[in-house]
Structure 1
Protein backbone atom coordinates (compact mmCIF):
# COMPACT_ATOMS: atom_id res chain seq x y z
CA UNK A 1 0.00 0.00 0.00
CA UNK A 2 1.21 3.45 -0.79
CA UNK A 3 -0.60 5.24 2.03
CA UNK A 4 -3.71 7.36 2.39
CA UNK A 5 -4.86 9.72 -0.40
CA UNK A 6 -3.08 13.04 -0.72
CA UNK A 7 -4.60 15.98 1.19
CA UNK A 8 -4.90 17.77 -2.17
CA UNK A 9 -7.75 15.48 -3.24
CA UNK A 10 -9.20 14.70 0.18
CA UNK A 11 -11.99 17.31 -0.11
CA UNK A 12 -13.06 15.97 -3.51
CA UNK A 13 -13.17 12.43 -2.14
CA UNK A 14 -15.21 13.56 0.87
CA UNK A 15 -17.65 15.57 -1.30
CA UNK A 16 -18.32 12.57 -3.50
CA UNK A 17 -18.55 10.18 -0.52
CA UNK A 18 -15.53 8.21 -1.74
CA UNK A 19 -13.23 9.06 1.18
CA UNK A 20 -13.87 5.75 2.95
CA UNK A 21 -13.36 3.85 -0.32
CA UNK A 22 -10.01 5.55 -0.94
CA UNK A 23 -8.84 4.40 2.49
CA UNK A 24 -9.85 0.75 2.18
CA UNK A 25 -6.99 -1.53 2.97
CA UNK A 26 -4.63 1.21 4.08
CA UNK A 27 -2.50 -0.15 6.87
CA UNK A 28 -3.72 -3.73 6.30
CA UNK A 29 -1.50 -6.61 5.34
CA UNK A 30 -2.81 -8.35 2.24
CA UNK A 31 -2.44 -12.11 1.91
CA UNK A 32 -1.05 -12.81 -1.59
CA UNK A 33 -2.05 -16.50 -1.39
CA UNK A 34 -5.66 -15.62 -0.62
CA UNK A 35 -5.78 -13.08 -3.44
CA UNK A 36 -4.27 -15.63 -5.85
CA UNK A 37 -6.86 -18.21 -4.82
CA UNK A 38 -9.69 -15.80 -5.64
CA UNK A 39 -8.10 -14.75 -8.92
CA UNK A 40 -7.94 -18.40 -9.97
CA UNK A 41 -11.68 -18.78 -9.28
CA UNK A 42 -12.67 -15.67 -11.31
CA UNK A 43 -14.30 -16.38 -14.68
CA UNK A 44 -13.88 -13.37 -16.96
CA UNK A 45 -16.54 -14.54 -19.42
CA UNK A 46 -19.32 -14.47 -16.82
CA UNK A 47 -17.83 -12.02 -14.28
CA UNK A 48 -18.35 -14.52 -11.47
CA UNK A 49 -16.36 -16.51 -8.95
CA UNK A 50 -16.77 -20.27 -9.33
CA UNK A 51 -16.29 -21.65 -5.83
CA UNK A 52 -16.51 -25.30 -4.69
CA UNK A 53 -19.86 -24.63 -2.99
CA UNK A 54 -21.46 -22.69 -5.90
CA UNK A 55 -21.16 -19.72 -8.20
CA UNK A 56 -20.80 -16.29 -6.60
CA UNK A 57 -21.63 -13.06 -8.41
CA UNK A 58 -20.52 -9.66 -7.13
CA UNK A 59 -22.88 -6.97 -8.37
CA UNK A 60 -22.58 -3.20 -8.23
CA UNK A 61 -25.33 -3.28 -5.62
CA UNK A 62 -23.15 -5.59 -3.48
CA UNK A 63 -20.25 -3.14 -3.77
CA UNK A 64 -22.53 -0.20 -2.94
CA UNK A 65 -23.89 -1.93 0.16
CA UNK A 66 -20.51 -3.17 1.43
CA UNK A 67 -18.81 0.20 0.98
CA UNK A 68 -21.78 2.30 2.08
CA UNK A 69 -21.75 4.38 -1.09
CA UNK A 70 -24.66 6.74 -1.78
CA UNK A 71 -26.67 6.00 -4.92
CA UNK A 72 -29.01 8.97 -4.87
CA UNK A 73 -27.03 11.26 -7.18
CA UNK A 74 -26.46 11.60 -10.88
CA UNK A 75 -24.83 8.84 -12.87
CA UNK A 76 -21.22 9.56 -13.79
CA UNK A 77 -19.81 8.03 -16.93
CA UNK A 78 -16.67 8.88 -18.87
CA UNK A 79 -14.68 11.90 -17.70
CA UNK A 80 -15.68 13.67 -14.52
CA UNK A 81 -16.62 17.31 -14.88
CA UNK A 82 -17.09 19.41 -11.76
CA UNK A 83 -19.36 22.43 -11.76
CA UNK A 84 -20.58 24.87 -9.09
Structure 2
Protein backbone atom coordinates (compact mmCIF):
# COMPACT_ATOMS: atom_id res chain seq x y z
CA UNK A 1 0.00 0.00 0.00
CA UNK A 2 2.95 2.36 0.50
CA UNK A 3 3.32 2.38 -3.28
CA UNK A 4 0.13 4.40 -3.54
CA UNK A 5 0.30 6.41 -0.35
CA UNK A 6 4.02 7.01 0.19
CA UNK A 7 5.47 10.50 0.03
CA UNK A 8 8.67 11.88 -1.41
CA UNK A 9 10.74 14.24 0.71
CA UNK A 10 13.27 15.18 -1.97
CA UNK A 11 13.63 14.10 -5.54
CA UNK A 12 15.41 15.02 -8.73
CA UNK A 13 12.22 16.32 -10.33
CA UNK A 14 13.89 17.11 -13.65
CA UNK A 15 15.12 13.53 -14.02
CA UNK A 16 11.75 12.08 -13.02
CA UNK A 17 9.93 14.36 -15.41
CA UNK A 18 12.31 13.55 -18.26
CA UNK A 19 12.04 9.80 -17.66
CA UNK A 20 8.24 9.89 -17.90
CA UNK A 21 7.56 12.69 -20.38
CA UNK A 22 10.86 13.22 -22.25
CA UNK A 23 10.87 16.94 -21.40
CA UNK A 24 12.26 19.02 -18.56
CA UNK A 25 10.47 22.19 -17.45
CA UNK A 26 12.58 25.37 -17.47
CA UNK A 27 11.30 26.44 -14.10
CA UNK A 28 10.77 23.84 -11.38
CA UNK A 29 10.15 25.64 -8.12
CA UNK A 30 9.81 23.44 -5.05
CA UNK A 31 8.69 20.52 -7.18
CA UNK A 32 5.99 22.59 -8.90
CA UNK A 33 5.67 23.58 -12.55
CA UNK A 34 3.39 25.97 -14.39
CA UNK A 35 0.27 24.49 -15.93
CA UNK A 36 0.80 26.75 -18.95
CA UNK A 37 4.11 24.99 -19.62
CA UNK A 38 2.28 21.66 -19.76
CA UNK A 39 -0.27 23.10 -22.17
CA UNK A 40 2.45 24.52 -24.45
CA UNK A 41 4.74 21.48 -24.33
CA UNK A 42 2.09 18.79 -24.78
CA UNK A 43 -0.49 19.97 -27.32
CA UNK A 44 -3.44 17.77 -28.23
CA UNK A 45 -2.16 14.82 -30.28
CA UNK A 46 -2.79 14.65 -34.01
CA UNK A 47 -4.12 11.60 -35.85
CA UNK A 48 -0.57 10.58 -36.81
CA UNK A 49 0.81 10.86 -33.24
CA UNK A 50 2.74 7.94 -31.81
CA UNK A 51 1.49 5.94 -28.85
CA UNK A 52 4.21 7.49 -26.67
CA UNK A 53 3.07 11.02 -27.63
CA UNK A 54 -0.52 10.13 -26.77
CA UNK A 55 0.49 8.74 -23.38
CA UNK A 56 2.59 11.83 -22.64
CA UNK A 57 -0.31 14.08 -23.61
CA UNK A 58 -2.68 12.08 -21.37
CA UNK A 59 -0.31 12.35 -18.38
CA UNK A 60 0.16 16.09 -18.96
CA UNK A 61 -3.63 16.48 -19.26
CA UNK A 62 -4.14 14.63 -15.97
CA UNK A 63 -1.57 16.91 -14.30
CA UNK A 64 -3.45 19.95 -15.65
CA UNK A 65 -6.72 18.63 -14.21
CA UNK A 66 -5.09 17.94 -10.84
CA UNK A 67 -3.40 21.35 -10.70
CA UNK A 68 -6.30 23.35 -12.09
CA UNK A 69 -9.35 21.69 -10.53
CA UNK A 70 -8.73 18.84 -8.10
CA UNK A 71 -5.75 20.03 -6.01
CA UNK A 72 -5.11 23.64 -7.06
CA UNK A 73 -2.65 25.92 -5.33
CA UNK A 74 -3.69 29.48 -4.55
CA UNK A 75 -2.69 30.75 -7.99
CA UNK A 76 -4.35 27.84 -9.85
CA UNK A 77 -1.31 28.07 -12.13
CA UNK A 78 1.03 25.48 -10.58
CA UNK A 79 0.93 21.72 -10.16
CA UNK A 80 3.25 19.68 -7.98
CA UNK A 81 5.21 16.99 -9.73
CA UNK A 82 4.61 14.53 -6.89
CA UNK A 83 1.40 13.63 -8.73
CA UNK A 84 3.55 12.48 -11.64
CA UNK A 85 4.99 9.77 -9.39
CA UNK A 86 1.53 8.22 -9.17
CA UNK A 87 1.76 7.46 -12.90
CA UNK A 88 4.78 5.28 -12.17
CA UNK A 89 2.59 3.37 -9.73
CA UNK A 90 0.02 2.76 -12.48
CA UNK A 91 2.74 1.45 -14.79
CA UNK A 92 3.86 -1.01 -12.12
CA UNK A 93 0.40 -2.26 -11.12
CA UNK A 94 0.60 -5.31 -13.36
CA UNK A 95 3.57 -6.45 -11.24
CA UNK A 96 1.56 -6.26 -8.00
CA UNK A 97 -0.87 -9.11 -8.71
Same fold (TM over 0.5): no
Q: Which TM class, normalised by the smaller chain length?
A: under 0.3
TM-score (norm 2): 0.24
Structure with greater contact order relative to length (CA < 8 Å, sep ≥ 6)? 2
Query: Which protein has the larger Cα radius of gyration, Structure 1 or Structure 2?
Result: 1
TM-score (norm 1): 0.26
Which of the pair is proportionally richer in helix? 2
